Chains A and B, each alone.
Chain A
Amino acid sequence: MTVAGVLDVVLRLVLVVGAFLLLPLLVGQLEHKAMAHMQSRVGPMYAGGFHGWAQLVADGVKFVQKEHVVPTAADRTVFSLAPAVALLPYLLVLAAVPVGPGLVAVDLPAGLFFALAVLSVSVLGSIMAGWSSANKYALLGGMRTAAQLLAYELPLVLAGSSVVMAAGTLSLSGIVLAWRPWWLVWQAAAAVVFFVSGLAELARPPFDMPLADSEIVLGPLTEYTGLRFALFMLAEYAGIVVLCALTAVLFLGGWRGPFGDASLGPIWLLAKIFLLAFVVIWVRVSTPRLRSDQLQRLAWLVLVPMSLGQLALTGVVKVVTS
């Protein structure tokens, strides 16, 4: 390995970490402002001047300053590790997302599998947090997380498999290269299933049964304060970024845009990510929370059959066109 090669890798990783630190904050800010406007409330407008842009930074500073509280009965080690376990997988996934032709931190042949596998690990963070808090709300939240994960993992993987079949490769870069605009129609069902299942895995509204602040306070996060709570929030926004990035890459052509050359790739991808993030926020604001039985019903009676139908459609089209 040459020095240039090492430098190349290091540079890419630094870029990824930078994006990882920046993008979730942007999404968070977007959520704050979009929600505020949608719900016709102004929200903080002073921090940093324009539209209170520094409010999120101020929140972060506030979190850092807050006291670390660990419940007496809690499993201290697991309690402390949980935010890291929840956050780190998203960083790893981000490293595998191609942002332009050849512009990817780590190009894995089985990239999609890697992404899905690592994503599923992050759920462990919630479960760990829920169990180790020694709080019944937290425990209930942890168990809801586990149940939700098990239910939505299947349609998620099946929808991803549909794209993989269409593209004939597991590599994320390969999928982007194989993508054609008419896939928007062909893989529409898979896209919906993937996106919805992803939302559920992230426990974003309307699938936020595990958090459900009106029922079980804040689920696994109930006992968390200060920086650790901030890390969980960061993990949530990082999750949104990763989900949107994966959806964009798999179903929306990733860095490919309707015009402009390949050098505009990162721009196109970012645009798609933020568009999808806006949809996530929009859905959160506009839909009520599902009950747990509705949640399971949606997964097993709608999403799984839909993804299976999509898989069959993909197979048929694939055979016909080849």
Chain B
Amino acid sequence: MTGAELVFVPLGAVALGSSVLVVTTDQLVRAALWLVVALGALAGCFLLLAAELVAWVQVLIYVGAVVVLLLFGIMLTRAPIGRSVDLDSGNRVAALVVALGTAGTLVTVVVGGFRTASIDLGDGSAGSAGTVGAGLFRYWVLPFELLSVLLLAALVGAIVLSRRDIGPRARDGGED
């Protein structure tokens, strides 16, 4: 085991453990907070894989924006403090079977496929902003631009969906 692996394994354990807590905890807000932990640990994994820019973007977008949005949504949908009894649907057993099946299949396949493969991290410049930026704007310009259009569309869509003075009237008042 190399040093990187020594750090990676506990980080991965944290990520996995907290993600398991995300899907099993019976407190909504804690699920979001565990998600923060899991995503932070994953950002650490990215750092270990020399993907520095990706790691910080991960923290900035996921932790700073996505999770805040999720928390916002949780609060707007009147999440209770403490335990909720009905966070799991009746589908648990089937879901567990499918998830275990997925895990078994995927792990079997990837272990079989990459047993001997090893990453040479080199000087660690592979994930620097310069390298990624160069790749992004040299080879991935068209997808990048398309993505900007997508984001614009999402922006417009979200505005249309949430503004009540646009589109069809809501049937009943409901939330504030």
Contact = CB atoms under 8 A, between A and B. Distances in A.
Given A110-B52, A110-B56, A170-B129, A147 B72 contact: yes
Contact of A74 (B65, B71, B81): B81
B10 interface: no
B63 A116 contact: no
Nearest to B128: A109
A114 B56 contact: yes
B15 interface: no
A121 B59 contact: yes
A217 B77 CA distance: 24
Contacts of B71: 124, 127, 131, 146
Nearest to B75: A143
Contacts of A75: 27, 29-30, 81-82
B68 A134 contact: no
B65 A131 contact: no
B63 A110 contact: no
Interface in A100-123: 108-110, 113-114, 116-118, 120-121, 123
B36 A124 contact: yes
B57 interface: yes
A150 B63 CA distance: 12
B48 interface: no
A189 to B, nearest CB: 22
A31 interface: no
B46 to A, nearest CB: 12
Interface string B39-78: 0000000000000110011011001110111011001100
Contacts of B52: 108-110
Contacts of A280: none
Contacts of B68: 120, 123-124, 127, 146, 149-150
B57 A121 contact: no
The winner among A75, A117, A149, A170 for most chain B CB atoms within 10 A is A117
B128 A131 contact: no
Interface SS, B side:
helix
Contacts of A134: 81
Interface residues of A, number: 32
Contacts of B76: 143
B96 to A, nearest CB: 27
A128 B63 CA distance: 13
Contacts of B33: 78, 124, 128
A139 interface: yes
Contact of B129 (A110, A123, A142): A110
Nearest to A73: B81
B43 to A, nearest CB: 8
Contacts of B82: 73, 75
Interface string A130-157: 0110100001001100110110010001
A73 to B, nearest CB: 6
28 contacts: A75-B29, A75-B81, A75-B82, A78-B30, A109-B52, A110-B53, A110-B128, A110-B129, A113-B60, A114-B56, A116-B64, A117-B56, A117-B57, A117-B59, A120-B63, A120-B65, A121-B36, A121-B59, A121-B64, A127-B71, A128-B33, A131-B29, A131-B71, A132-B81, A139-B75, A149-B68, A150-B69, A150-B72
Interface of B: 27, 29-30, 33, 36, 52-53, 56-57, 59-60, 63-65, 67-69, 71-72, 75-76, 81-82, 128-129
Interface of A: 73-75, 77-78, 108-110, 113-114, 116-118, 120-121, 123-124, 127-128, 131-132, 134, 139, 142-143, 146-147, 149-150, 153, 157, 170
- Sorted nearest first, the 4 A-B pairs with minimum C-beta distance are A120-B64, A117-B59, A117-B60, A113-B56
